[in-house]
């Protein structure tokens, strides 16, 4: 008869642990909005609408056609340049 009483108690404890873990996971996992806000401003990256020699947005690995950037917030000129430029491989 003692074995029957232990089972519901264990189930209750497992359920409580799962509930606590799920509540914690919801607070830890970043949302799309939080990730979108992580982009830098044009001023912070010293963005300019003209290229720097052969360095320009269109040949940068962070460029997202037609006029986006994974690092800089807002639209960019494909012929522009910033400090975050890295050659597309």
Q: Are residues 10 and 47 in the same domain?
A: no
Residue 69 is part of a domain; what is its CATH number? 4.10.490.10
The answer, as to whether pTM is greater than 0.85, is no
For residues 40 and 26, state if they share a domain.
no
What confidence category does residue 27 fall into, taking pLDDT thresholds of 50, 70 and 90?
low
* 9 shares its domain with 44: no
- Cβ-Cβ contacts under 8 Å for 45 (sequence gap 6 or more): 71, 72, 82, 83, 84
Distance CA 72, CA 64 (A): 11
- The structural domain count of the chain equals 2
**For residue 21, what are the domain limits?**
1-30
Check residue 28 and report its DSSP letter.
H
At 5, the pLDDT band (50, 70, 90 cuts) reads: low
Say whether both 19 and 49 belong to one domain.
no
For the segment 31-66, what is each residue's pLDDT rounded down to a tens digit? Answer: 666 655 679 999 999 999 999 999 999 999 999 999
The CA-atom distances, in angstroms, between 6 and each of 16, 59, 64, 73 are 15, 65, 58, 57
Q: Are residues 42 and 62 in the same domain?
A: yes
């Amino acid at each position: 008869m003692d074995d029957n009483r232990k089972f519901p108690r264990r189930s209750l404890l497992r359920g409580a642990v799962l509930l606590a873990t799920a509540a914690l996971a919801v607070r830890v996992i970043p949302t799309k909005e939080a990730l979108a806000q992580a982009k830098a401003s044009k001023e912070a990256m010293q963005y300019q609408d003209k290229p720097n020699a052969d360095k320009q947005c269109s040949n940068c690995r962070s460029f997202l056609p037609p006029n986006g950037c994974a690092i800089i917030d807002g639209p960019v000129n494909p012929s522009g340049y910033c400090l975050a430029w890295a050659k597309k491989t």
